[in-house]
Structure 1
Amino acid sequence: MSVRRVVPDIHTASLAESRDFYGLIGLEEVMNLGWVMTLASPGNPTAQISFATHDATAPVEADMSIEVDDVDAVHAAMVERGAEIVHALRDEEWGVRRFLVRDPNGRVVNVLSHRS
């Protein structure tokens, strides 16, 4: 298993204000679904921050997202360990396969892979 990127997920009431503020630092909008938006560095596209007003399909909001090469293998390892899965493994309509798990610190981690 390999990690492709780790992205902080920030809860916000204003996607536009967040985009404008972080745009001053040099981040640009690379994805916006209306409830979640990701900004990235044009020169280093894996340097990202995501902002969400809520989660459209999960019962809780994530504190961070980790993109992996094999989400099914990570899910199996978490289940085997007895980790608390707070959103079941599933394919989402926006092109990712993901699950949410609570870490030992109580943080919710969105673990995902992009579907081909």
Structure 2
Amino acid sequence: MSIRRVVPNIPVGAGDGTEAGAAAMRDNAAFYGLLGFEEVMNQGWIMTLASPTRPTAQISVMTADRTGPVTPDLSVEVEDVDAVHASLTGAGAEIVYGPHDEEWGVRRFFVRDPNGRVINVLTHR
């Protein structure tokens, strides 16, 4: 299995699209900007910041996952999400969501790790 990137998902602000959530996004963009990160994606409820010199070095801040049942703690982009899903299912892992093709161009599922953390496993289509 080939891993393309691993991104921590930092929960921030209100998950209801309020000004508090937008302010949390702005505050995080400003803070992580001081560390050299730049915004590369923002859907209002999730914003990804990346290093301009190492684009796979990323952090996401998320008010709440728009389509999943929970907000994942970590995202792992893989080459073949269906193969990873089959491997985890075969090993008896708890699948929390999906697999599902999302409107923003990813196929993903959520799995719970041994520590109770929810991992968003995805492939860009």
Range into which the TM-score falls when normalised by the shorter chain? over 0.9
Choose which of 98, 105, 116 in structure 2 pairs with 1:95: 105
Q: Return the alpha-carbon distance in structure 2 between the equivalents of residues 19 and 87 of structure 1.
A: 28
Per the normalisation by structure 2, the TM-score is 0.91
One-letter code aligned to 2:104: W
- Where in structure 1 are there 5+ consecutive unaligned residues? none
- Where in structure 2 are there 5+ consecutive unaligned residues? 14-23
CA displacement 1:8-56 (0-9 Å, x = unmatched)? 0000011111001000111000000000000000000000000100000
Q: Post-superposition, which runs of at least 4 consecutive aligned residues in structure 1 deviate over 2 A? A: none
1:1-116 superposed matches below 5 A? 1-13=1-13, 14-115=24-125
Q: Return the alpha-carbon distance in structure 1 between the equivalents of residues 61 and 113 of structure 2.
A: 20
SS at match of 1:8: strand
One-letter code aligned to 2:5: R
1:82 positional shift: 1.0
Q: Return the alpha-carbon distance in structure 2 between the equivalents of residues 36 and 18 of structure 1.
A: 11
Q: Return the alpha-carbon distance in structure 1 between the equivalents of residues 124 and 68 of structure 2.
A: 17
CA displacement 1:81-100 (0-9 Å, x = unmatched)? 11111111010001100000
State how many pairs are aligned. 115
One-letter code aligned to 2:111: V
Computed over aligned residues only, the root mean square deviation of the Cα atoms, in angstroms, reads: 0.5
Q: Return the alpha-carbon distance in structure 2 between the equivalents of residues 54 and 3 of structure 1.
A: 24
Per the normalisation by structure 1, the TM-score is 0.98
Structure showing the higher strand proportion among its residues: 1
